[in-house]
Amino acid sequence: MPVSRAQSSDSRIIAHVDMDCFYVQVEQRKQPTLRGQPTAVVQYNSWKGGGLIAVSYEARMFGVKRSMRGSEAKEVCPEIQLVQVPVARGKADLSVYRNAGSEVVSILSRKGRCERASIDEVYLDLTESAETMLAELPPHRLESINEEALKSHVLGLDVDGDNARESVRKWFLKSDADHRDKLLACGALIVSELRLQVLEETEFTCSAGIAHNKMLAKLASGMNKPAQQTVVPFLSVNKLLEPLPIKKMKQLGGKLGTSLQVDLGVNTVGDLLHFSEQKLQEHYGINTGTWLWNAARGISGDEVESRLLPKSHGSGKTFPGPRALKTSASVQKWLNELCEELSERLLSDLEQNKRIAHTLSLHVNAYKLNDSESVKKFPSKSCPIRYGTAKIQEDAFNLFHAGLREYVGSCTIKTKGNLHHGWAITGLSISASKIVEIPSGTRSISKYFDNQVKTCTSEKQSIDLFTQYDADVSYSGNGSYLKFHSMCPQMKNCEEDTGNKHFMPIVNQDKDQNESKDESFIPKSIDEQHSSFSTVRQQQDGVTQDILSLSSSGAELNQKETKIDFLGEETEHGLKSKEQKWKPYKEKGTILRYFGSRSCSLPKEDHDKILGDNKASSSSDSKVMVDSFFEVVEGKLPPKNLLPRTSTTLSGQDELRRTAWSYKSDEIDQITLNELPIEIQAEVRTWLRPHKRANTMKKGSSILDYFLPARNS
């Protein structure tokens, strides 16, 4: 349900920019001979020429539509050029389009707060730039208005048929215009310039809407396409909204819109104006009622979020008709493909943007054989993400089985060999959401040490190490243990499941929006589905259990021990190893040298050599610690004689990791902290501040509950 937000000023200048026939433009840039020709991009599945997913404006003139298949398009437009979407892993590979979208975003973000809303759509908050322009060089003082701006459509403006541009020029130059209109005129000029820059730098055209809020800007951007922009002055809002079919409004395309039509007889936004706020609240609750009342009047307080990167990553595939998946093995095969792609994208997001995702979700479309009347949906499932392809694959498959159990009932899942009983899968989609930036602290600390530790032979390695370290610190169980081991720079090497479970505690976040156009099969509202899986524990200290219950190889894990890593419980082992942990500090004296010693420790070749030689290390303790870090990274256990001496009473890799990479923050000597630059000190203290976490876990709210046998089994 939409939520009414505090209204913000109607003097904001918001733009919505939408690329024109985006995938086609990307393909035309690759093959310039396609420019100006009727062209369409078709899906991977080549049945009947493949389904059209993007259609050029030239092809639209012949009546070609997105709903057609290639062969139908050929019938209405024989000269149409059909380009197949790139393919990888037996499915559409959208990376070229995503990257092209990023190019555009980087240009549009030059003039104001920028929110990437989908693969080819962006919202911009240009209020500040417009105000500056109005104060310094308002449009009426400009010598000329650029041609692109003069092609603007200004809603409500009386245009003189043949001389529309002259009418628009007068609107831009009107010195006694309403303040809001003057700001809009500035916004329109800025957007026209940005669109020209996009064209110049990327060769892509786009269309835009410029208004006082996101809702109106989005409505306007689609009104005049391609390569044009539409301005919505305050006084034209009602004229724009009244005739609009109710389902065309953002957030009213689904159930709520249908309910308005069916229950209240509302077919256009104008119809909605007849209902009082109170009446709407009676029907839909206080928040939604108020939201509807406002929306009908073009009032929306939604802010443009500052986000240049996608909020989630997803990979999906449909299996229509005879291609429906009917065996567990075939589901697993495809899930593996999808997870591999997802994992690669997560890693590149981590490497390029220093961002980590926290929630893995599986969405499935299915039907029951011999039960055509069943309307039960395959439930969507989520769990905390563990990085590494093999782990994501394992968790995704377990989520599938958890969903299947609910969908068909555990009694009917019995399989005989590879044969299933009673279900067919027509769509699979795996997504990663709740993506957060690794807090900037370590990144600037990394930069700091990057400059400081010039003698280091493996500087890059050390920086990576710090970055991962911070990722883990930020979400560690009780906030007082800093850990290095949960994520590793050479994440790819962690993929084989070695029994070293690298857990990612999850954090609560606002609901996400997925990039709905981004995948061949991504259910519309991942978020609704996330929320349907409300029993996923949204608290950090439950993660271990949750994942244990998901992991089919859970036997490899000692739940209690893993918890120690997260919760910082002090076991006998933990206490023993503490002495060892602090030795480098005492010996080296300062945090600076401590970090320096870590970063300068072992280049990878030396490390390999030491392992290869299987010799006891004569290096310092900190060197041993780096050795063990590499072991964890690579999923190998080092020769016993490379283990720190104090850990000989421990066994296995968990002990090794704990010995090497955990220490208690309250033992850090303030004097050593004081040796760091002021800004770094502040950041380090932020890490060290104990995080208070509410105990929000409800009884019966663990993933574990999903894996208990169904009651009726």
* Binding site residues, ligand TTP, CB under 6 A: 18-23, 53-54, 119-120, 225-226, 517
The nearer residue to ligand TTP, 225 or 657, going by C-beta atoms, is: 225
With vertex at residue 395, the alpha carbon angle to CA 531 and CA 557, rounded to the nearest 5 degrees, is 120
Helices (H), 409-456: 440-452
Nearest residue to ligand TTP by CB is 54
Cα separation, 13 vs 209, in Å, equals: 10
- Minimum distance between the CB of residue 48 and ligand TTP, rounded to whole angstroms? 17
User: Is 39 or 549 the residue whose CB approaches ligand TTP more closely?
Assistant: 39
Q: Which is nearer to ligand TTP, 98 or 140 (CB)?
A: 98
| Environment class of 707 (CB within 10 Å of its CB; exposed 0-12, middle 13-18, buried 19+) | middle
User: Is residue 70 within 8 Å of 48, Cβ to Cβ?
Assistant: yes
CB of 240 to ligand TTP, least distance (A): 19
* CA dist 500 → 396, 496, 556, 703 (Å): 18, 10, 9, 21
Q: Which residues pair with 429 in a beta bridge?
A: 316, 363
CB of 83 to ligand TTP, least distance (A): 12
The total of other beta-carbon atoms located within 10 Å of residue 482's CB is 21
Burial of 409 from C-beta contacts in 10 A (0-12 / 13-18 / 19+)? middle
Q: Where are the beta strands (DSSP E) in 385-516?
A: 423-433, 436-437, 481-483
Smallest separation (angstroms) from ligand TTP to the CB of 355? 23
Closest CA to 111 of 208, 6, 228, 181: 208
Total length of the chain: 713
C-beta of 202 vs 653, nearer to ligand TTP: 202
Instruction: Kindly state the smallest distance separating residue 336's Cβ from ligand TTP, in Å.
Output: 23
In whole angstroms, the minimum distance from the beta carbon of 114 to ligand TTP comes to 17
Residue with tokens 């009947």: 48
Catalytic-residue membership of 121: yes
> Which amino acid would we find at residue 67?
S
Catalytic residue among 58, 121, 337, 495: 121
Determine the number of helices (DSSP H) and then strands (DSSP E) in the chain. 29, 19
Looking at residue 410, the DSSP 8-state letter turns out to be G
Q: Which of 608, 621, 611 is nearest to 647 (CA)?
A: 621
H/E stretch holding 333: helix 328-353
Q: How far is the CB of 20 from ligand TTP (least distance, A)?
A: 4
Of 497, 538, 498, which Cα lies nearest the Cα of 390?
497
Element (H, E) at 337: helix 328-353
Nearer to ligand TTP, 82 or 547 (CB): 82
Nearer to ligand TTP, 14 or 104 (CB): 104
Q: Name which of 120 and 634 has its Cβ closer to ligand TTP.
A: 120
Q: Which helix (H) or strand (E) holds 366?
A: strand 359-368
Judge contact between 594 and 673, C-beta under 8 A: no
Closer CB to ligand TTP, residue 24 or residue 456? Answer: 24
User: Does residue 466 contact residue 442 with C-beta atoms inside 8 Å?
Assistant: yes
Residue with tokens 């209109």: 181
Q: How far is the CB of 626 from ligand TTP (least distance, A)?
A: 46
Using alpha carbons, select from 320, 356, 359, 363 the residue that is nearest to residue 338: 363
Minimal distance, residue 99 CB to ligand TTP, in Å: 14
Nearer Cβ to ligand TTP (219/656): 219
The residue with tokens 């005492």 is: 586
Residues assigned a catalytic role: 121
